[in-house]
Amino acid sequence: MDEHPIEEADLDRATDREYAAVSVPAVVGVGLAALSVVAFLNEFLVAVPVLAVVVSLSALRRIRRSRGVLTGRRLALVGVVLAAGLTVAAVGYHAWQWYAEHRTLASLQARTRAITDQIVAREYAKVFAQISPESPQHEAGADLFCRRMTGLFAGAGDLVKRQLRALQILRTERAEAVAMAEVRLRLEQRTLDFHLWYQPDEGGRWRFVGVSGRETFESASRHGGPAAPPLRGPYSRG
């Protein structure tokens, strides 16, 4: 008796239902596909839907080669489609997040440079005027701010080098977004470290909420005198 080839549409039906078995990779693939929503939590977790696609495609190949002994073709197809869709969506989501953060950091970097220019020019009142009125540093008053700034720059000389050492978006203990820029100013007689702080308002626009500054330990040791009193920022304790 001649054997008839099994058509692809019949691959999901075993030749003998009593011995038909569901493909394990098909089950694993659709399970990973369902778990793939975690890919939106972190860019590294995009590996989950990618793995789901690979496992589901492997299941399809095994089912096709089993000549009807294995079932689960539809299950594997669901795994491929679902995981592939989530992969594309998650990659797009993280790409947009990266782009938005990159634009934010570029804007904050430009603003930090402008404020630092005013600090170097000893225009402390202009710097204070930009601090958000809701900031604790603003509530402490312009006189204290200007006195501490004047003390830091007393006898420091002219600017030799400016360095942006860090610029990053952080989370406070209350899960609030905060951006911090760390700038080092090397002056003729002193080296000063400043931290400029920003926080988004309800509209998502970043506002300047304060600046902290202090002389580095090496600088104070070099010139032998006591370090100038530090300028406490909006998140300083004590």
Helix boundaries (H) for 121-173: 124-130, 136-139, 142-153
DSSP label of 40: G
| Nearest Cα residue to 13 out of 51, 69, 75, 57 | 69
What whole-number distance in Å separates Cα of residue 124 and Cα of residue 118? 7
pLDDT digit string (tens) for 148-167? 999 999 989 999 999 999 99
In the predicted model, is pLDDT for residue 75 greater than 70? yes
Q: What are phi and psi of 207, to 5 degrees?
A: -110, 150
Q: What is the pTM of this model?
A: 0.70
Percent of the chain with pLDDT over 70: 88
Architecture in CATH of 121-223:
Roll (3.10)
Q: Check: CB of residue 78 under 8 Å from CB of residue 108.
A: no
Q: Token pair for residue 221? A: 């040791």
Please provide the average confidence, as pLDDT, over all residues in the chain.
88
Q: Check: CB of residue 164 under 8 Å from CB of residue 193.
A: no
Q: Check: CB of residue 146 under 8 Å from CB of residue 153.
A: no
Handedness of CA 229, 152, 125, 193 (dihedral sign): negative
pLDDT digit string (tens) for 3-24? 445 454 444 444 455 556 889 9
What whole-number distance in Å separates Cα of residue 46 and Cα of residue 38? 8
Q: What is the pLDDT of residue 225?
A: 67
Q: What is the DSSP string of 173-225?
A: TTS-EEEEEEEEEEESS-EEEEEEEEEE-TTS-EEEEEEEEEE-HHHHHHH-S
